[in-house]
Amino acid sequence: MVDIKTRFAPSPTGQLHVGSARTALFCHLLARKMGGMLLLRIEDTDRARHVEGAVERIVDDLKWLGIDWDEGAGVGGDKGPYVQSQRLGIYTKHVEKLLDAGLAYYAFETAEQLAGLRQTAEAEKRSFIYRRPDSLPTRGQAEAVKAEGRPAVVRFKTPGEDVAIHDEVYGVVTVPGDQQDDFIIMKADGWPTYHLANVVDDALMGVNFIVRGQEFLGQTWRHKLLRDAFGWPEPRYAHLPLIMDMKGRKLSKRDGDVDILSFRKAGYLPEAMINFIALLGWSPGNDRERFSLEELREAFDIDRLNKTNAKFDRDKLLAFNTAAIAEADEDRLLVAFEDYLSLNETPFPAGDTAMLRRLLQVNKGFRTFADIVSKSGSLFVADDAVEYNGKAVEKVLAKNDGDGWAVLAELRALLGACPWTGEALEKLLGEFCTGRGLGMGKVAQPLRVALTGGTISPAIGETLTLLGKDKTLSRIDRCLALART
């Protein structure tokens, strides 16, 4: 039995998409479950789509998720380099081998000529498949064309026979010979295409189990033909189902965040993300839904991948996050909260751990860290930056002939004379309620509106102590002045 070696091979074209994160996770789980290896390779041969800093982003988000790998980018190994732009010589050598063996050939069509052929095919209502010319150019002719500055690509000579791929998820997928084209393996600028570089690297790096998105299944015949041409053995393949939105469309940015960094910035925990992503195309075979990464490493089973499209249910992710937060201990939450603060601009004093702990405590029940900002953020802005919500002012202060304003004015006087401890404040508010025959809501809400501009904040005693006496009084005064205008 050969040990499993799998790989995650992202192209640095932007943020780590949840679909790619799922691929990385399943590769990781497969390797961990089977005692195999996971390799990280950066596929950056598409220069037009290359985004500066994307490799660092991907690596950082993988680490944040807790996904680690054994070889490749950032880790090293004896099959490197692991970044394709550093391997151009290797690809050229392999293309030459195919040219020498008569398994590939040069082609000189310009982009316009190809577009013309494509248009003709469209007009005739047939799909465009590049037709091999009857006589193929020699190397010498190719050199001459290149010297003139005209484009010369290298195309693979497909044998034109049906190709069958055995996929662990989708079963046997056969691509008929007449649907195969002589695809490009080296572009006019001398860079390899994805197909060539991907296949060469998988083979040279000893990858024998390929896990990736379903969108690559239709390309895999090309990879098999290339492997056959080089005499390399077949790896095992597992293609993962598409991820759809709740309307059954392919998940895209139009429905909101789709990359890991956005969820991280929005205040999600990596453990909730991982749990949620793991269920996009995999199930444990029973009703269990909640898993830690550690538990997933145990439970994962390639046979339980399914081919039905996965549904990206944001409500479920939020529910997982809420539960993960409730289960996490404070030290764990503090680390995650600090990560959240490092990625966002908030009014909170990021370096003040005692205060951050307190915020975690007084906001118990929060669903994401963003909830802490919406519930407690206004306590940390400058007093004159508090914005009053018109509806809240109307409903809580102005309604019923300004009952709320009256309560506020009375409280202002009492609070001004009160020592600022939780106990004293609670006693004051309690006695005030009893004395006026008012429920706590009728007293706390006017205060909340005066102190935060709206009706949501931590428990009123906490709100007052977090704010401190001076700020409390100054905010009430500012609000009462509003009543007079």
**Residue ranges binding ligand GLU (CB under 6 A):** 9-11, 43, 198, 212, 216
A 10 A CB-CB count for 151 gives 15
**Nearest residue (CB) to ligand GLU, 79 versus 146:** 79
**Nearest residue (CB) to ligand GLU, 281 versus 454:** 281
Beta carbon of residue 25, minimum distance to ligand GLU (angstroms, whole number): 14
Query: What region, left, alpha or beta, does residue 39 occupy, with left being phi > 0 and alpha being psi -120 to 50 degrees?
Result: beta
Say if residues 359 and 348 touch (Cβ distance below 8 Å).
yes
* Secondary structure letter of residue 242 according to DSSP: P
**Nearest residue (CB) to ligand GLU, 40 versus 362:** 40
Beta carbon of residue 270, minimum distance to ligand GLU (angstroms, whole number): 21
**Nearest residue (CB) to ligand GLU, 84 versus 452:** 84
Beta carbon of residue 81, minimum distance to ligand GLU (angstroms, whole number): 16
Beta-carbon contacts of 431 under 8 Å, excluding residues fewer than 6 positions away, are none
Backbone dihedral angles phi then psi of residue 436, each to the nearest 5 degrees:
-95, -5
Matching residue, tokens 């202002």 = 412
Beta carbon of residue 9, minimum distance to ligand GLU (angstroms, whole number): 4
**Nearest residue (CB) to ligand GLU, 9 versus 479:** 9
**Which residues are known to be catalytic?**
253
Beta carbon of residue 378, minimum distance to ligand GLU (angstroms, whole number): 42
The amino acid that residue 149 corresponds to is: G
Say if residues 255 and 238 touch (Cβ distance below 8 Å).
no
Tell me the three state secondary structure of residue 207.
Answer: coil
Beta carbon of residue 126, minimum distance to ligand GLU (angstroms, whole number): 29
186 bridge partner residues: 154, 192
Backbone dihedral angles phi then psi of residue 156, each to the nearest 5 degrees:
-85, 140
Query: What region, left, alpha or beta, does residue 392 occupy, with left being phi > 0 and alpha being psi -120 to 50 degrees?
Result: alpha
Say if residues 321 and 368 touch (Cβ distance below 8 Å).
yes
* Secondary structure letter of residue 194 according to DSSP: H
Question: Could you give the C-alpha distances from 326 to 47, 295, 457, 463, in angstroms and in order?
Answer: 45, 19, 19, 22
**Nearest residue (CB) to ligand GLU, 43 versus 96:** 43
Beta carbon of residue 276, minimum distance to ligand GLU (angstroms, whole number): 21
**Nearest residue (CB) to ligand GLU, 55 versus 447:** 55
CA 187 vs. chain centroid, Å, equals 31
The amino acid that residue 233 corresponds to is: P
Beta carbon of residue 360, minimum distance to ligand GLU (angstroms, whole number): 37
Note every long-range contact of 250-255, with CB atoms under 8 Å and residues 24 or more positions apart, other chains counting.
251/18, 251/19, 251/312, 255/312
CA 388 vs. chain centroid, Å, equals 35
**Side-chain-side CA neighbours of residue 451 (13 Å):** 33
Beta-carbon contacts of 398 under 8 Å, excluding residues fewer than 6 positions away, are 404, 405, 483
Matching residue, tokens 């429905």 = 255
Strands 163-167 and 71-72: unpaired
Strands 184-186 and 171-175: unpaired
Beta carbon of residue 216, minimum distance to ligand GLU (angstroms, whole number): 5
**Nearest residue (CB) to ligand GLU, 19 versus 404:** 19
**Nearest residue (CB) to ligand GLU, 214 versus 363:** 214
Say if residues 472 and 463 touch (Cβ distance below 8 Å).
no
Query: What region, left, alpha or beta, does residue 98 occupy, with left being phi > 0 and alpha being psi -120 to 50 degrees?
Result: alpha
